[in-house]
Amino acid sequence: MTTTPDAPANTNTLLLQAIALRKCVAVTYNKTRMILAPHILYTRHDDVFVDAVALEREGQPPKEFKIGTFKIAGLNDVEVTDRSFQPDKIFNANDIKYEGVTLFVV
């Protein structure tokens, strides 16, 4: 995806779709190609973030599965994949950091 003024809105739409359908997304973040299972889209200080489990980094599984926070503005080449996921038990939608700022959640 080329960085344009519409890129964040398009990324938000793709992430909303992925969360609703429980589909993974392929992204480039900090020059690293990743497969993410997005769990929640929310705002913080007027920026939009997604918390997701990284299932692959550069084609390899991570050493540890955990919820990571990704700033939407830093996501590039976002594609919804056919790979499904189930919400991970390590994810807590009731975490205080999401209170009043959640846009969409699994």
CATH class (in words) of the domain with range 7-105? mainly beta
> 68-106 pLDDT, tens per residue?
999 999 999 999 999 999 999 999 999 999 999 999 999
CB 32 within 8 A of CB 26: no
Predicted confidence at residue 65, as pLDDT, reads: 86
> 31-62 pLDDT, tens per residue?
999 999 999 999 999 999 999 999 999 999 98
CB 52 within 8 A of CB 67: yes
pTM of the model: 0.88
Q: For 17, what's the count of Cα atoms within 13 Å in the CB-facing half-sphere?
A: 12
Run of H or E including 57: strand 47-57
* C-alpha distances in Å from residue 44, one per residue of 14, 38, 67, 99: 19, 17, 17, 11
Predicted confidence at residue 6, as pLDDT, reads: 46
What is the distance in angstroms between the CA of the first residue and the CA of the last residue of the chain?
A: 25
CA 74, CA 48: separation in Å to the nearest integer? 10
Run of H or E including 105: strand 102-105
